[in-house]
Amino acid sequence: MDAPLRRTWAEVDLGAVRHNFRLVRNRLHTDCLCMAVVKADAYGHGAVPVARALLSEGADWLGVSNITEAVELREHGITAPILILSYTPPAEARRLADYHLTQAVLDEPYAVKLEREAAAADVTVSAHIKLDTGMSRVGFFCGQDSPVDAIARVCAFEHLSVNGIFTHFAVADEPDGEAYTRQQFALFMNTVDALRERGITFALRHCCNSAATLRFPEMQLDMVRAGIVLYGVSPIVQADLRPTMALRTVISQQKTVPAGTGVGYGLTAHTDRPTVLATLPIGYADGLIRLAAETHRVSVGGTTAPLVGRVCMDQCVIDVTDLPSVNTDTVVTVFGDDTVSVLDYAAACRTIPYESFCLVGKRVPRVYSDSLR
């Protein structure tokens, strides 16, 4: 590894990403497409290299959160269909068309604004209708008042080319979430069927996130949206996934202090014996969650060591008293090896793997490998 990276870095295994995609692909029915979700910089893994790896494996679509993420992919030569899953200002209609992007239509007022801007720019914007079947974020609400009339009006707009419809499941990854997920699916299909009765059909109907893709294959329809499963985390269903990211750092200094020595801001920790403390050049600005200091143990040479005191912006301290073989420059893994997984880390931080990946800071270099090559 190059010298500038010997501070803190994230190792990303594109071979593991490709392996995980293959696992998903093998669980789809024959005609079902797969959208690879690479929003949030591919969950912190790096959108461009991850997207290229997934497209090489046969991903049909890419999913992103916003137009900035989509344009980044286009400007790196990626030509695959891209769906923007969340809000884009209607004034960006020309860019949506120029970059050949598909926009989620969130409701009729949004569609009216997008249509007006597209007409003014003399362009046609590709669109998918988003239904809110019980997540209560964005989408045409499938409540007591049917959204069918509003969707029909939107589908008739001259400058919107509506070729898909989708929803998002709220609890497909919860052990007791089956009944609610089936309720959401029924609302979705009822709306789609009502639109079909009016002669309105869609080339792509998609509901399944990672959990539903694995757990409810009958809901796969025309396309699924694979997200966290691609990054090595199995939502509820056991799967032979491989970890895709390891967050590593090194010991920058090591010292022995007497019992009763305070450690870190606020002196929230004190040693209870003569203690060997090791400083790590990683902190919350790098994505090390401050809550990790309470219970998380980092991986050092096949065993673990606890954090001591508060996590600082750029550094933290661990207790290596019982690890006599360590020294300056010894590699330490925060998460992602056989000893400490991202699930272990997320549990210690009282969060989820999604956040653990996404919080790894931009100043942390991503170092890529491919275990399948």
Q: Which residues are catalytic?
A: 39, 265
Yes or no: say if 130 and 204 are a contact pair by the CB < 8 Å rule. Answer: no
Other CB atoms within 10 Å distance of the CB of residue 359: 16
Tokens of 345: 């880390």
Is 211 in contact with 169 (CB distance < 8 Å)? Answer: yes
Residue corresponding to tokens 């219970």: 295
Coil, helix or strand for 206? strand
CA-based nearest residue to 44, from 77, 11, 6, 90: 11
For 280, which DSSP code?
A: E
Summary count for the chain: helices (H), strands (E) = 12, 20
Query: What is the spatial distance between Cα 51 and Cα 58, in angstroms, rounded to a whole number?
Result: 11
Q: Cα–Cα distance between 293 and 305 in angstroms, integer? A: 11
Measured CA distances, 283 to 45, 158, 249, 266, 317 (Å): 19, 52, 10, 16, 10
Euclidean distance between CA atoms 119 and 10, whole angstroms: 45
- The token pair that represents 228 in the structure block: 């966290």
Q: What is the DSSP letter of 138?
A: S
- Distance from C-alpha of 282 to C-alpha of 25, rounded to nearest angstrom: 37
